[in-house]
Amino acid sequence: MRKTAAALIGLILLLTGCASSIPTGKPVVVVPNYPLVFLAQELFGDTAEIVSMAKPGVDPHDLELTAQDFDAMTKADVVLYQPGFQTAVDEAVQAVKPKLAVDVAKDVTIMRTTATGETPAPGADPEEEPSEYDPHIWLDPTNMEKMASATVSAIEAAQGDNAKALAETAKTKAPELAKKLQDLDSQFTAGLQGCERTAFVVGHEAFGYLAKRYGLTQIPVSGIDPSVEPTAARIAEVQAEITQYGITTAFYVAGEADTVTESIANDMHLSLEVLDAVELEPEGGYLAAMERNLTALQQADGCPIG
Assess 206 for contact with Zn ion (CB under 5 A): yes
Q: How far apart are CB 206 and Zn ion at their closest, in Å?
A: 4
Interface mask toward Zn ion for 150-189; x: CB under 5 A = ----------------------------------------
Q: How far apart are CB 134 and Zn ion at their closest, in Å?
A: 9
CB 296 within 8 A of CB 277: no
Stretch that binds Zn ion, among 1-9, 157-165, 201-209, 260-268 (CB under 5 A): 201-209
Which residue sits closest to Zn ion, CB atoms considered?
206
| Nearer residue to Zn ion within complex by CB, 48 or 254 | 254
Q: Which residues pair with 219 in a beta bridge?
A: 201
Q: Which amino acid is at 275?
A: L
CB 254 within 8 A of CB 274: yes
Number of residues that bind Zn ion (CB under 5 A): 1
Stretch that binds Zn ion, among 20-28, 35-43, 202-210, 287-295 (CB under 5 A): 202-210
Give the C-alpha separation, 117 to 201, whole Å.
15
| Nearer residue to Zn ion within complex by CB, 199 or 206 | 206
User: Closest Cα to residue 137, out of 115, 116, 111?
Assistant: 111
Assess 210 for contact with Zn ion (CB under 5 A): no
Q: Which residues make up the interface to Zn ion (CB under 5 A)? A: 206
